[in-house]
Structure 1
Amino acid sequence: MMVSVDVPVSRRRRRERLSSCRLCAPGGRAVAVWAAACHRLPLFFPLFTRAHRPNEMVEPAARGGPAAAAAAAASPAASPAQTADEDLVLAALSRRPLIDADVAAACPSLSKQTRLAAINRLLESGRMQLLRRPSDNAILYKAVARNETAHLAGLSVQDRLVYAEVEKAKAAGTWTKELRIRCGLTIAAVKKSLANLEARKLIKSVNNVQYKNRKMYMLVGVEPAQAVTGGPWYTDDKEFDIEFIRVLYNQVQEFLKSRPHQMASVAAVERYLADLKISVEPLRTPHVHTLLNVMELDAIVESVSPSRAELADEGAPGAPPGGEEDPEAARARTTYYRVNKQVVSVLAVANTPCGVCPVVRDCHPDGIISPRTCIYIDEWLNF
């Protein structure tokens, strides 16, 4: 049975204790119950009083990692001596992120209490970030430039940690499970931080075409990667747009047939599709190159190496003068495709409805079931 002991303390002494405690002082984050636990019932809450005593700065990693550091109260304006301590810590982190032991070795003139106080102030002001080292899950301190923290003002350390991981993911994005593992937080804490960051319009959520029930989070100004959105080949509902692909197939074939040698470069096909304006999202060189590669796998077109005479008739543009050409642009300028004439007839026969007709054995020219009266063949021929 646990017994609580009320230690008699004078009112003046109790007021001095409350004013000296960072949590219980006016403007702090503790409520009256916490104040009573801190200063009137030390035997009832021994763990709490050891974890947070008046005028004592506790290392965030020792009290549960980055998430616990968010509970620290805002410190008052730093004195010149405190500013000098912060500058010394930031100088140690100028080259690369460090663990606390390395920071202590780089700042031998600072005591542990002074160093941790400077670290807490830097975390609260946003001049420092907490990271997780993947190899051993150790906490790293990373310095942040002053001009990079203006948009993060008012965020807790936990929110800043989640923001740093989302920023690290870039265009590929990240999701809640990855953030939970990398930040060492609970799933509820991650969702709360993501909601706060979305409300501040610092991050956005994008649906993943490969995993429809998974939301990927990235910074607001970042364009999602094609692996996430699917590029122009998917509809707004993240469904593969078969009709759009079919239209592109037909347009590319007609364009290649209209060329002098029924061939064209990737760059020429890209310009032609851009002039048609049949795509809401612009079809860039990688998109067109992918489209032609798929058409080549479907035996609709084939890649060729044109002769000099054919290149002259095509009016192929040369390399841009001066400077190095982008590798993708160089491939688009030198890779040519033409309609595949050798396999079209074979594909046409293979794609007839007769290949999947359940009564094909009873089909005869003069029978009840006949190719002459088959509506499926008429639809196939009119396509």
Structure 2
Amino acid sequence: MLTTPTAAPDTRQDVRQRMPALAALAVAGFLAVTTEMLPVGLLPAIGGAFGVDDAVTGLLVTVFAVMVAVFAVPLTVATRRYPRKPLILITVAGYLISNLLSAFAPSFAVVAAGRVVGGVAHALFFSVCIGYVPRLVERGQVGRGLALVAGGTTAGFVLGVPLSTALGAAIGWRGSFAVLAVLAAGVLVAILRFLPAVSGTPAGRRIQTSGARSALGVVVTSNTLTFIGQYTVYTYISVILLTGGAGESWIGPLLLVCGVCGLAGLACVGRTIDRHPRTTVLTVLALLAATILAVGLTHAWFVGLVVAIALWNGLFGGVPSMYQTAAVRVFHEAPEVAGAWINGTSNLGIALGAVLGGLFLGSSPAILALSVTAAALVVAGLTVAVMGKRGFAP
């Protein structure tokens, strides 16, 4: 049973000392993202197993994101006073249950129920995970710690989905979910072994000042606009590559290269975000907008298109940890609440970006319009960051 703490000893140490704990959180992040995205590559197989249309099967992805967008902030606020370790164990157990339900589902409705369970767990997981880092490492190393944990999330996009999809082709879609359930069990063991217990927000403590709330609003608004812009294009990256001249067999390797570039970008942001937060944010967003625009401008030249896409994905690799770091800095008394807002608005941006991008699909001129619109949204996020100095101050 969860109980509220009465005292909270300082558990912060150097990043190197906390590496086992940060690694456990990173692997949990890998599990979380892979659980969320796994159905993308398995939709035809799942739909075929139950005689369900692809459009209906696609709701397995949608319902997960909706659960996150709806419940991220309410669940985080409701549980902010409870000890952190039991909460993160509960969320990982949620992924375990979600994947088991999907693996052994006798009907499509049970698969959907499993996705609901996973979505609710996901709504709380990243909030707790993001809030855990500033309680583990020294304040001057929070950005580096978050970047290390975000490496697991990025690896989920880069390796988790392609590998689990290939696994599904080899042993069936149920086997992919079963493997993730086993991974979830392993993550539970790792968290029990390596993650220290930390307290939540003490009862009666006010959640930040109006100035801090205003600064968080700046970060959240910029995050939302940037994610809408990013996923306006990224959701349809395969379509862009195919219409730009790539063969179908090239898509997987090219996406893997983009993922590796994203990991490199994450590493670069992790080295600078603590010392030069504002400069890092403004530089990354400006270059991100430029490379997204370059995708549209080079669409008719395949080599140039591949280079532009690689640079664009490399720059975006560090964006999530960049916003996470800014949010927990300005809302440091309640980092889980900050994480919840980042988690919820990121998923909102993913959903809205996918809808907006779908309006532009078609010929090459449409790809240019797609990239111009996406770049403009990122510029809007950059403008918010420029004007809201307190949100991205050292």
Question: Computing the radius of gyration over CA atoms, which structure comes out larger, 1 or 2?
Answer: 1
Same fold (TM over 0.5): no
TM value normalised by structure 2: 0.20
Structure with bigger strand share is 1
Q: Which has the higher contact order (CA 8 A, sep 6+)?
A: 2
Q: TM-score, normalised to structure 1's length?
A: 0.20
